A and B are shown apart, each in its own frame.
Chain A
């Protein structure tokens, strides 16, 4: 089943067309990797999926994006962003305690019960495979954590509001190899319950963790398919040239 369906999507920043006639279906509970050189539109598409481009002046979008067959423009933007969470390149914990970071989203959505919040915090930190490391320091400031821990905290924060889709924009590019490995393992665990889209510049990471890969170039999708097929026998020469490092 396809969780997200994108049809004839065009996106303009002023007169610059950043996405050109994008047609793409995102399978449910699978990991889809977006690859391509910088400025090719992959992050722009990612941000379109939870309407973060609404914040950008002069951004015009045509075409359709549906979540469970319902247009994302017919869903309240705050609700949409609860259902489609996002993890960024640099970990961005709020300057508050670990506990409050995780509870923040639930509180803004009206959860006030201490026991309920305790449950959400523990469940989210466990799901992000960081509970054992943090359970004795929940009241400590999140900014004191290592980069890898901060990123897993951000993933836990995204999970706390029980999203259906998680968008990840280069989530490990600022992390050391061990933290990267932990995040990759976590992402693979999470796909059992969530639909995951990940933008990555690390080809080997795309091979390791994703089932589907989409290659972007100059705002267009050049090729999409099973990750193994894309990295073994790409159909388009431009895909081959990019993944083998001949350009980009």
Chain B
């Protein structure tokens, strides 16, 4: 009955998966470049951010086209309007990966003042959240999206561990101050990526149920 519209919604889904893969890759590369002081990789992340921005524009224009052409209602309207909100969070994740890459380049010629295992763990948790978000988006699975939101607590806990460690290090040696503040910023960027991923999961739930999860205060 509505073959064309369903095909268009499938296309939208494919474009969202592609954008999701781009940001997932950006986070993976950002943490890898940070751990291994890989300046070339960090520069690639910065240069690739345009791809994410362009993909946001592409999805945005697809959504506007569908609103205009199909005049959607009910769950179709919720899906398209939620997608418009989600891509803003996805684009911000891309920006934060770039922010991390820029700090990585700044710190590349100095030894790290501490092991980065907690930051690395934050990135791993976030990537898992993102993968599950994409899965929830494609399968319209509320439970998976809810678990993504709960999972963010792990990222927050890791952030506070990193913060506590760095404050302790600054107390012990003021010379650590500059790098400690850079590492704290990096941890904060990862923590924000977790928040944006949580927002995406909340929009997925809204698109399926029509109800908003309680929006967290950041």
Contact residues of A with B, CB < 8 Å? 203-204, 207, 231-234, 240, 243-248
In Å, the complex CA distance between A248 and B71 comes to 17
Chain B residues in 8 Å Cβ range of A234:
74
Option from A204, A231, A247, A248 in Cβ contact (under 8 Å) with B74: A231
The 6 closest A-B pairs by CB, nearest first: A233-B210, A245-B2, A231-B73, A243-B73, A244-B76, A240-B74
Report Cα–Cα, A246/B3, bound state, in Å.
Answer: 9
Q: List 20 A-B contacts (CB under 8 A).
A: A203-B71, A203-B73, A207-B73, A231-B73, A231-B74, A232-B73, A232-B74, A234-B74, A240-B74, A243-B73, A243-B74, A244-B2, A244-B72, A244-B73, A244-B75, A244-B76, A245-B1, A245-B2, A245-B5, A246-B1
B contact residues around A248 at 8 Å (CB): 1
Residues in chain B near residue A246, CB distance under 8 A = 1-2
| CA gap between A53 and B20 in the complex, in Å | 59
B-side interface residues toward A, CB under 8 Å? Answer: 1-2, 5, 71-78, 210
> Hey, which chain A residues are within 8 Å of B78, CB to CB?
232
Establish whether residues B2 and A240, one from each chain, have CB atoms under 8 Å apart when the complex forms. Answer: no
A79–B124 Cα gap in the complex (Å)?
A: 77
Nearest neighbor of A203 in chain B, beta-carbon distance: B73
Which of B1, B74, B77, B78 counts the most A-chain CB atoms under 10 A from its CB? B74
**Contact of B2 with A232 in the complex, beta carbons under 8 Å:** no
* Complex interface: chain A residues within 8 A of B75 (CB): 240, 244
Q: Closest CB-CB distance, A247 to chain B, in whole Å?
A: 5
Closest to A233 in B: B210
A232 touches B77 (CB 8 A): yes
* A243 → B minimal CB distance (Å): 5
**In the complex, what distance in Å separates the CA atom of A231 from the CA atom of B78?**
11
- A231 partner residues in chain B, CB cutoff 8 A: 73-74
Residues of chain A contacted by B1 (CB below 8 angstroms):
245-248
CA distance A13 to B172 in the complex (A): 92
Name the CB-closest residue of B to A240. B74
Q: How far is the CA of A204 from the CA of B2 in the complex (A)?
A: 17
Cα(A245)–Cα(B8), bound, Å = 14
A204 and B77 CA atoms in complex are apart in Å by 13
Which residues in A have their C-beta under 8 angstroms from that of B76? 244
Q: Report the Cα distance A209→B72, complex, angstroms.
A: 17
Q: Who on chain A is nearest to B76 by CB?
A: A244
**In the complex, which residue of chain A has the Cβ closest to the Cβ of B77?**
A232
Known contacts A245-B2, A246-B1, A247-B1, A232 near B210 by CB under 8 Å: yes
A234 and B1 CA atoms in complex are apart in Å by 19
A245 to B5, alpha carbons, bound, how many Å? 9
